[in-house]
Structure 1
Amino acid sequence: NLYLVLFQLQYKYQINIDGTVAAYRLPYLLAGSGVVLKQESHYYEHFYHQMEPMVHYIPFKQDLSDLIKKLEWAKNHDAEAQRISKNAQQLALDHLLPKEVFCYHVVLFQEYAKRLTKPPKIVQGMEHVPQPKNKPLCSCPSTTEKVERDEL
């Protein structure tokens, strides 16, 4: 619920914990004014390779065993925590606005199309959606950089 996420953004410390997948609210938290404490996780989203621990967020162990210690660190190092928060806000502005997310999906589907082994099958009820002509193709170098993980 977006309202709940916006309500929570008023807090100085934002804790991001995964569920059965990566927590979808992380981009909202990064864009907020609080510092994000992010759980270490094997889940990831397309932008995680652009984030650095202690630069864009404060990491804590997956089992939460050091979460209180990390919160205390943030409280005792307010200037550093605010710097991390500002870095996270800038990352969100540079890479997580709708245009950048759209560009990521354009690149994703282009790469997916290259991997198809046979043409898609058109079945009854499908509708052809013509593509606009004379419009520039999406170019987004930040989303086409080589990353360590294969996200396709």
Structure 2
Amino acid sequence: MTTFRKATADLLENHDISVEEAADRHIAPDFRQRMNGIWIDRREFIDRITELRSNTQEINIVVLDEMTVGDQYCERHIGDLLSFDGRREVLEVYVFAVLDSDGRFKRVEEVTLTLNPDVVMPPMDAADDREANSYSPASPMAYPHTALMS
């Protein structure tokens, strides 16, 4: 079974494989995604991920909550993205999904909130601040008001 973190790692961070190959691992052939009310199909999703991958210098994902019951999957995460032009965007994302019989995402519905990066997370280049604040991209401490559920 795929998870959001596994899919994101392959789709955005693993440059040893193509976006198409990563999508085949984690996204069903009849995939649809609804983000903030707008539906897209698998082809549009792959095109958006390809563009995001080519424009993103660094991405940190912190999974805050995650649960699977049967073919139903839900997850909440903070995404901290730094583009090559220096723009930084921090998002809190709520994900509700249905998995296919192979454990890949068949349908994903997301609601995304844009957060103030200076309030939520320390700057990406502030390694000392991260350590002082117990910040780690893999830790829920990056968003101190929540706890990681396993």
TM-score, normalised on structure 2?
Answer: 0.25
TM-score, normalised on structure 1?
Answer: 0.25
Larger radius of gyration: 1
